[in-house]
Structure 1
Amino acid sequence: MSDLMKAVRLHAFGGAERLVYEDAPKPRLQAGQVLVRVHAVGLNPPDWYLREGYDMLPPEWRPRVAFPIIPGTDISGVVEAVADDVPDFTAGDEVYAMVRFPSGLAGESRAYAQYVSVPAGELALKPSATDHLHAAAAPMSGLTAWQFLISLGHDEPNPLQPFRHEPVPLAGKIVLVNGAAGGVGHLAVQLAKWKGATVIAVASGGNEAFLRDLGADEFIDYGRTRPEDSVRDVDLVVDAVGGAMTGRFLRTLKRGGALFPIFPLGFEGRDQAEMLGLTVSSTQVRSSGAQLAQIAPLLDDGTVRVAIDSVFPLAEARKAHERAAAGHIRGKIVLEVQR
C-alpha cells in the first residue's frame, strides 16, 4: 500500500490560490487513534482563517504554523484501521468527526485529504440514514449549535470569557437567530424548535421559505427591516454572525435575557448588558465524539436537517473557498473526495 495520498496543502498564507492539491504523506496510525478513509469534508470559517494566517486574531492569539499544512476539520468516511487500544471502532465502520479542534488550530487537524487519523474520542458512528456529504457538513456547525444551546459537554477553561458558558432553558421561550440561513444558524433554528422555543429567524429575503420549512415561526429580512428596531422582549438571541455589531441585539432582549454571540471578538457591550440585566456568553466549540453520537439520531430521523449549499471535488478546494468568500451561503459547502 502506498505511503502517499492526495491532499490539499498550504505552503504559505494567502488567498484561495494558496490551496494546492498534491501528494502528501499518508498519516501513520498512533495509539488512541483511528485511521479514516475520507469520503467528504465539510468547510468551516476556521479553514479560511487558517489559510489567511488568522489575521483577524490578535497577534498573541495566532498559532505558530509549520508549513506545509493540510487545513480542515470536518470529515465523514470509513474506518481503514484502528489502533490496538481502541475498542469502540472497527475497520469498515462509517464514521464522522470534527478532528482536533481547537487543538489543531495550527493545521494539525488535516481533513482536506484522502486519509486522516482521528483521536477515537472525537469520532462517532455516522448517522446511518445520512449520506457522507451531509454527515461531513454537520460536525463543527452541529457541535457549535449544540454546545451553545443544549449542553457544553466539557469543563475546559473558556478562552473567550472568565466564566463557564451555560445554555439556557428553551422550552416556551422566544429565541431570535441572526444569520439563520448559515451553517450554525440553520442548525440553531432547528435545535431551538426541537426544545420547544418560538424561533424568529433573521436572514436575507431569499431564505424565508427555506427557514420556515426548517421550523422558523417568524422571519425577518434584514435587507428590509432592522431586527433591533422591530423586535422586543426576546428571551435569547443567538447571533451566528457576531463581531462588533452583535451589541445591537441587546435592545431586543427582555430583562433576564441572554445574548450568545457565536463569534464574540469585537463585542464591547458587556458593561451595557450588565446594566440592562442581561447575560452575554460565548464559548469555543470543542471536538466531541460523544456529542456527535447524540446528534446522529436527530439527523437520521429528520428532526435536524443539514442543508448543503454546494459540493466541490477535493481537487477544487480553491473554488470552494472562493464560493465561501462570495458569501450568502445557505447551509454548508462540502468537498467530495474521489476514490
Structure 2
Amino acid sequence: MRAIVQTTVGGPEVLTVSEVPTPRPVAGQVLVKVKAAGVNPVDVAVRAGYYPLLGEPPFTIGWDVAGTVEAVGDGVTAFKAGDDVFGMPYFPKQAAAYAEYAVAPADQLATKPKALDFDQAGGLPLAGLTAWQALVDAADIKAGHRVLIHAAAGGVGHLAVQIAKAQSAYVIATASTEKLDFVRSLGADEVIDYTTTDFTTAVRDIDIVLEPIGGDHAALSLKTLRPGGIIAALLTPSDAAKAEIDRSGARFARVGVRPDGTALGELAKLANAGKLKVHVAKAFPLEQAGAAHTFLGTKPIGKVVLTA
C-alpha cells in the first residue's frame, strides 16, 4: 500500500510517498481502508521534530481516520467488513493514518455519522474529541453555562462552539475579522473580534474558558472567569501564567486528548441530529501531504484532510 513515510524530521518536504506492507489486524483490531485522514497541528509538530511523540524516524504520522472496514481480527463483534467507521486510534502512539490502510482497536472507533461525508468524518475525531473532553469531561458543561471559546473558527474551536450550543450553553467566541461571520453561523451567541477588541474588558462571568493558544493567554482569560469557573487549556501555559493561575485559586485543567470510542459515538449522534457540522477548508490527495501541512499553516477555517 501507499503511505506517507518520513525518514527525518523537518519541513513539509520530508513527507514522501512510499510503498509499505499493508497491516493485518490481530485480535481486537480492525483494518480500515482509509478514505480520509485529518491533518492536525500535532501532526505538524511531530513532523517537524518539535513534539517527539514517535521517537526517531522513520515513521508515519496522522491519527484521524475515516473509511471502510476491510477486515476484523479475532474477537471483534462491533464491526464487520463493509462498515463505515471513524476514529483516532492509538494517540499518542503511532497510528499511521497517512496511508491507504490503517489498523485500529475496535473500541477506539465508532460508526461514521451518516450525516457526514468521509472528508468531514476524517476531520472530526481528534479535534472533536479534544473539544468534547475539554468541555464535557474536564469542565462538566451544563445548560446555561457561559462559555468562552478562543480561536473559534479553527479545527477544535468550530466544533467546540457547536458542542457547547448542543449542551444549551451560552457561547462567546473570539475570532479574527474575516472569520466572524463563519463563527456566527455556528450559533455563537456573541462573537468578539480579537484584532480590534480586548476580550478581557468585554467579557465577564464566564464559567468555562476553552484555551487553545498557550503561553500567557490563559492568564489573560483569568480576568473573565466567575468564582468557581474553570480554564480548560489545550496547551501548557507559560510558567508565569501558571503561577498566576495558581495564585488566583481558579480551577485549571490541562486537556490532553485520548482515544474514546464512546465519545465518538456521542459526536456522531450530534452530527446525525444536525447539531454538529465539520467544515473542511480543503482536501488534498495523500501524495500532497506536504502541501496540506503548508496550507494548515495559513490557519484556514475549520479542518484540512487528506484523501487516500
TM band (smaller chain)? over 0.9
What's the counterpart of residue 190 of structure 2? 218
- Rate the CA distance shift 1:204–1:322 in 2: closer, same or farther, 3 A: same
Matched, 1:111 2:97: yes
Residue type at the aligned position of 2:108: E
Residue type at the aligned position of 1:34: V
- Greater shift in the superposed pair: 117-126 or 239-248: 239-248
Q: 1:52 aligns with which of 34, 38, 48?
A: 48
Matched, 1:281 2:237: no
Question: Per-residue deviation at 1:79?
Answer: 0.4
- Greater shift in the superposed pair: 80-89 or 261-270: 261-270
Separation of aligned partners in 2, 1:265 and 1:256: 20
**Is contact 1:247–1:267 with CA below 8 Å preserved after alignment?**
no
**Is contact 1:245–1:267 with CA below 8 Å preserved after alignment?**
no
- Greater shift in the superposed pair: 24-33 or 308-317: 24-33
Residue type at the aligned position of 1:334: V
SS of 2:20's equivalent in the other structure is strand
Separation of aligned partners in 2, 1:265 and 1:21: 36
Question: Per-residue deviation at 1:212?
Answer: 1.1
Superposed CA deviations along residues 144-194 of structure 1, whole A, max 9, x for unmatched, are: 11111113xxxxxxxxxxxxxx32333112111111100111111111111
Matched, 1:252 2:242: no
Residue type at the aligned position of 1:92: G
Separation of aligned partners in 2, 1:291 and 1:235: 22
What's the counterpart of residue 68 of structure 2? 78
Separation of aligned partners in 2, 1:336 and 1:63: 24
**Is contact 1:311–1:334 with CA below 8 Å preserved after alignment?**
yes
What's the counterpart of residue 231 of structure 1? 203
Matched, 1:188 2:178: no
- Rate the CA distance shift 1:217–1:16 in 2: closer, same or farther, 3 A: same
Question: Per-residue deviation at 1:195?
Answer: 1.1
Matched, 1:35 2:21: no
What's the counterpart of residue 14 of structure 2? 18
Question: Per-residue deviation at 1:267?
Answer: 5.0
Residue type at the aligned position of 2:166: W
What's the counterpart of residue 302 of structure 2? 331
Residue type at the aligned position of 2:19: D
**Is contact 1:171–1:196 with CA below 8 Å preserved after alignment?**
yes
Residue type at the aligned position of 1:42: G
Stretches of structure 1 that go unaligned for 5 or more consecutive residues are 152-165
What's the counterpart of residue 94 of structure 1? 84
Separation of aligned partners in 1, 2:284 and 2:3: 14
Separation of aligned partners in 2, 1:64 and 1:137: 21
**Is contact 1:260–1:280 with CA below 8 Å preserved after alignment?**
yes
SS of 1:39's equivalent in the other structure is strand
Question: Per-residue deviation at 1:243?
Answer: 3.1
1:114-263 matches, cutoff 5 A: 114-151=100-137, 166-263=138-235
**Superposition misfits of 4+ residues, deviation over 6 angstroms:** none
Q: Kindly, what percent of the aligned residue pairs are identical?
A: 41
Superposed CA deviations along residues 80-136 of structure 1, whole A, max 9, x for unmatched, are: 00012111110000000102112x1xxx21000000011111111111221100000
The normalised TM-score by structure 2 is 0.95
Quote the RMSD (CA, aligned, Å): 1.5
- Rate the CA distance shift 1:64–1:286 in 2: closer, same or farther, 3 A: closer
Residue type at the aligned position of 1:324: L
What's the counterpart of residue 59 of structure 2? 69
**Is contact 1:30–1:83 with CA below 8 Å preserved after alignment?**
yes
